Amino acid sequence: MELHVGDRCEGNYQGLGIWYPGKITNIHSEDGSIDINYDDGDVELRVRKMWVRSSLKVGDKCEANYHGRGMWYKGTILAVNETNGAFNIQFDDGDREDNVLPTLVRRQLPTQEE
């Protein structure tokens, strides 16, 4: 999932396997590492991108790369696997896909009509 400065996220603090909520304050262009201000007041600088995930939650509108084939479809998040951050998604066309990796899911951008 593409991350941006200002996004809510969860960070794997010091890579120890414990995920904490926070906000992205900087993305370093030279190596892609991310600075996070955690909700508890801690700050972690230059977090490896693999240790940062979007804090999408059940009910959020999203777009997902269906079966990783390069086609993005709109849907809704049904469940989030707390262990690996994978999503179960109900697509707007009626299809469903479970255990979609976070790298294959992005927040649905509003259309001009919305």
Handedness of CA 60, 64, 86, 16 (dihedral sign): negative
Question: Which region among 4-8, 55-59, 75-79, 81-85 has the lowest average model confidence (pLDDT)?
Answer: 81-85
Q: What is the mean pLDDT of residues 48-52?
A: 93
Percent of all residues in the chain with a pLDDT value above 90, rounded to a whole number: 62
Q: What is the mean pLDDT of residues 19-32?
A: 93
3 — pLDDT class (breaks 50, 70, 90): confident
Report pLDDT for 57: 86
In a 13 Å sphere around the CA of 68, the CA atoms on its Cβ side amount to 6
Q: What is the mean pLDDT of residues 94-112?
A: 83
